[in-house]
């Protein structure tokens, strides 16, 4: 008589734990990859809707990051695409000096608008931005010219506001819904074959 002992229960338990770790790692990795691809897709969509360059979406005139991804290492904490709420300088939106002020075109589909009494796109020492001598925080009949100084930099929409545009948001949601299952399957296959 031959007595064979098997540890099938222990083997199954080990494999279940291994599979759960593989699935968790694949989900975290997929989330980070999709977030980075989502940042790229949102920037592409923003540039299709607005007259702004990629370098101006990434950093402002002081070098501060405007759009970036924060990756994750845990399943409970999602990866995040951050778009800062500080406006981009109006000089970045195809600003042209005219006799009556500065012409800017923020959206590609819209018509250019003239900001009366504005100046700056031709002045290199001002960073070719758009300025005015009227305080932009005061409007209406109480608005008065400040003299030569101070001058006020004018800002367009922020990356956060452009990021929340319905068209941009719809394209991003479509991209995530389409690519997440594909990338997740690739990540699972890679980890299972290790």
Give the per-residue pLDDT at 148: 76
pLDDT reading at 1 higher than 60: no
Contact indicator for 67, 82 with CB cutoff of 8 Å: yes
Confidence class for position 126, pLDDT limits 50, 70, 90: confident
Strand partners, 70: 80
Task: Please provide residue 44's backbone torsions phi and psi, each rounded to the nearest 5 degrees.
Answer: -65, -45
Q: Residue 172 CB: number of other CB atoms within 10 A?
A: 19
pLDDT reading at 120 higher than 60: yes
Using one digit for the tens of pLDDT, what is the confidence trace for 47-93?
Answer: 999 999 999 888 877 788 899 999 998 888 889 999 998 889 899 99
Domain range summary for the chain, segments of one domain joined by +: 8-86+159-192, 90-153
Give the per-residue pLDDT at 169: 93
Confidence class for position 110, pLDDT limits 50, 70, 90: confident
Give the per-residue pLDDT at 140: 60
Give the per-residue pLDDT at 86: 86
Give the per-residue pLDDT at 33: 95
Give the per-residue pLDDT at 12: 80
In a 10 Å sphere around its CB, with 0-12 CB exposed, 13-18 middle and 19+ buried, how is residue 30 labelled? buried
Strand partners, 94: none
């Amino acid at each position: 008589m031959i007595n064979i002992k098997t540890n099938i229960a222990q083997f199954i338990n080990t494999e279940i734990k291994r599979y759960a770790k593989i699935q968790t790692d694949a989900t975290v990795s997929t989330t980070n990859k999709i977030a980075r691809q989502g940042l790229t897709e949102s920037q592409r969509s923003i540039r299709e809707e607005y007259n702004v360059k990629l370098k101006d979406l990434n950093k402002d005139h002081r070098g501060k990051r405007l759009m970036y991804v924060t990756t994750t290492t845990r399943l409970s904490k999602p990866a995040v695409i951050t778009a800062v709420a500080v406006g981009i300088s109006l000089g970045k939106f195809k600003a042209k000096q005219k006799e009556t002020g500065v012409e800017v075109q923020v959206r590609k589909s819209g018509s250019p608008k003239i900001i009366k009494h504005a100046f700056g796109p031709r002045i290199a020492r001002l960073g070719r931005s758009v300025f005015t001598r009227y305080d932009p925080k005061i409007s209406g009949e109480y608005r008065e010219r400040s003299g030569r100084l101070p001058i006020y930099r004018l800002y367009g929409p922020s990356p956060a506001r452009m990021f929340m545009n319905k068209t941009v948001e719809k394209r991003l949601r479509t991209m995530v819904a389409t690519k997440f299952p594909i990338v997740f399957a690739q990540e699972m296959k890679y980890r299972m074959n290790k």
